[in-house]
Structures are given as structure tokens and as C-alpha cells.
Amino acid sequence: MTARLYRSRTDRMLGGVCGGLGQYLGVDPTLVRLVFVLVGFGTGVGLLLYPAMWIIVPVEGQGVSKPSETIGEGAREVAEQAKNLGETVSSSWHQSDPQAARFLGWALIVLGGIFLIQNLHIPWLRWINFDLMWPILLVFAGVLLMRHRSRTN
């Protein structure tokens, strides 16, 4: 009997795709997750492959069913997870700290301004090195967040 690829019911972070692949290949699912993240952010392929496998690959213990049933069930599960994620983000957004929202607003304004300045190609602003500015802004934002967190605790 040949081994079949299933999405894991027990070893799952999102849809069980990496857990199922790990079981199928006989490797640690954490390694499969790491590969998905690296390939996903490096090439974008993982970002397309994971949802496709989530929809197409049947859940462990589901048995053999028609492909249309498997795809329909997978699509419903993805939609349900997306809805849950949206509700979670919405509730956390409404319960967030006003200071955090203000900080996020200023950060977006600063980043938008940097993009604008960079794309305007103003001769007297060519001295600004945007490759160096990103890490500086990230460190500065991290320090501000840590100071704000330490003050609230």
C-alpha cells in the first residue's frame, strides 16, 4: 500500500499542510515549515503553494473522496480561518492602546514621506542614503516601543 499525502489534524499551525508533508516525507514538520517560510519570502512560491495545498490536499482521516469534495472542504476551511483571523485582527484593533495607534500612524507618515522623497529625485536630497536609513528607523521604532512598553508596565 502506498503512502498518501494528507493534511495533519494534530500537527498544525494553520492548515496542517507542513505537518502532513513532514509525516509523508518522514522529516520533522518544523523543517518543512522553515523551508516554506524561506521559499515563500525568498521567491513567493511558498505563498502560493501553501494555500493551494491547503485547498487540494485532504485532511488526515477523511478517507478517499472525490476531488471536488476535497477542494470544496478545503476552500471552506480556508474561508473560515480567514474569517476568524479577520475577527481577531478587528477585535484587537478596537481594543488597542491609543498611544500604539498614534505611534503606528506617525510611523506610516514617516515611511510614506521617505518613499515620497525617494521617488521625487530632488537633487539637494540625494545625500540621504535610504539603504542606511531603514535599519536606523527600525532600531529607533524598536527603542520607542520598548520605552513605551516599560512605562506601561
Q: How many CB atoms lie within 10 A of CB 102?
A: 10
Backbone angles phi, psi at 61, to 5 degrees: 85, 0
**Is 8:16 a contact under the CB 8 Å cutoff?**
yes
| Neighbour tally for 79: CB within 10 Å | 11
- The segments of the chain whose pLDDT lies below 50 read none
Place of cell 480567514: 82
- AA identity, residue 127: W
pLDDT digits (tens, 9 = 90+) for 39-70: 877 787 777 888 888 888 888 877 666 777 77
Give Cβ neighbours of residue 27 (< 8 Å, ≥ 6 apart): none
Q: How much is the pTM?
A: 0.52
